[in-house]
């Protein structure tokens, strides 16, 4: 078994490009490259979102050291960040696992998300500036292309950007940060909705309808869409969880 490195080796531009899936030429000369901890956090979150890592799956530090060509200090910092996000759980004498959200936990999280997101759209000022609507349209165009291509990773990142831009219009920093935290906490359930093509198409249609509601300053319609938009993910996760673990709500 390979052993962890005892001295820190900063990630090279080549290693950074490999982990992010981008050419090093695409990195702006003045842009700060993400640290190895940032890259581990991003990669593990993506693997959980895409369903490549499942609830209760162990995240073995030594295996992660080998996979990311780094030492335990970096891996532990990354796992700590993921724990703060609510994606990973660290259990005494067992180490870290992908957090096991029970169906009741998911319903509770989404009940709070729904009310907070509705609060955000209720206080965002109308009319919405054309530049903000154009930004949402550009993000949704990229999201739609990703849905058509079946690129679930791009679907995830564009979906996050769309909702961040939408709720960011409310201008309440505390509310925006709380919505973001709850969305991160529920990252692990996204793969279950992503597994259904009809759910992705429904999400795309909702985004387009949300933009139209912003165009026409239809707050009532935007509120209805915000509530409806969250429900398919919860249903998909609850059904999949019961099939996988055969457990009732705890």
Domain with residue 231: its CATH number is 1.20.120.530
* pLDDT: which is higher, 115 or 199: 115
Q: Of the candidates 98, 122, 157, which is a domain's last residue?
A: 98
Strands (E) located in 112-203: none
- Note whether 57 and 113 are same-domain residues: no
Structural domain includes residue 167: yes
Does residue 209 surpass a pLDDT of 70? yes
Domain housing 65: 13-98
- Note whether 70 and 133 are same-domain residues: no
- Note whether 137 and 204 are same-domain residues: yes
pLDDT of residue 56: 86
Region 3-16: what's the mean pLDDT?
45
Structural domain includes residue 7: no
Region 18-38: what's the mean pLDDT?
57
- Note whether 64 and 151 are same-domain residues: no
Strands (E) located in the chain: 58-59, 88-91, 95-98
pLDDT of residue 239: 80
CA–CA distance, 135 with 142 (Å, rounded to integer): 11
Does residue 13 surpass a pLDDT of 60? no
- Note whether 175 and 80 are same-domain residues: no
pLDDT in tens, 70-122: 999 999 999 999 999 888 998 887 889 998 888 898 899 999 999 999 999 99
Q: How far is CA 68 from CA 43, 63, 157, in A?
A: 10, 9, 22
Domain count across the chain: 2
Q: Of the candidates 70, 98, 126, which is a domain's last residue?
A: 98
Which pLDDT band holds residue 250 (cuts at 50, 70, 90)? low
Structural domain includes residue 8: no
- pTM greater than 0.95 (yes/no): no
Spatial strand order in the sheet of 88-91: 58-59, 95-98, 88-91
- Note whether 115 and 84 are same-domain residues: no
- Note whether 183 and 60 are same-domain residues: no
- Residue from 101, 27, 34 nearest 249 by CA: 101
CA–CA distance, 191 with 181 (Å, rounded to integer): 18
Q: Of the candidates 53, 76, 98, which is a domain's last residue?
A: 98
């Amino acid at each position: 078994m390979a052993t962890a490195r005892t001295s820190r080796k900063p990630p090279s531009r080549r290693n950074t490009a490999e982990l992010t899936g981008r050419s090093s030429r695409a990195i702006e000369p003045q842009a700060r490259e993400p640290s190895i901890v940032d890259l581990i956090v991003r990669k593990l979150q993506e693997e959980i979102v895409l369903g490549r890592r499942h609830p209760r799956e162990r995240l073995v530090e030594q295996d992660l050291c080998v996979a990311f060509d780094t030492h335990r200090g970096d891996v532990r910092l990354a796992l700590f960040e993921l724990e703060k996000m609510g994606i990973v759980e660290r259990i005494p004498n067992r180490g870290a696992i992908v957090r096991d959200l029970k169906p009741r936990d998911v319903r509770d999280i989404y009940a709070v998300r729904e009310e907070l997101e509705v609060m955000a759209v209720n206080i965002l000022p109308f009319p919405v500036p054309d530049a903000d609507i154009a930004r949402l349209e550009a993000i949704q165009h990229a999201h739609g292309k990703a849905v058509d291509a079946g690129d679930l990773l791009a679907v995830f990142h564009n979906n996050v950007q769309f909702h961040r831009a939408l709720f960011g219009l409310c201008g309440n920093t505390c509310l925006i940060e709380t919505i973001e935290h709850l969305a991160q906490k529920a990252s692990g359930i996204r793969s279950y909705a992503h597994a259904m093509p009809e759910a992705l198409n429904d999400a795309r249609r909702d985004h387009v309808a949300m933009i139209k509601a912003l165009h026409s300053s239809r707050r009532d319609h935007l509120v209805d869409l915000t509530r409806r938009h969250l429900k398919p993910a919860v249903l998909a996760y609850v059904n999949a969880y019961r099939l996988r673990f055969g457990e009732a709500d705890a």
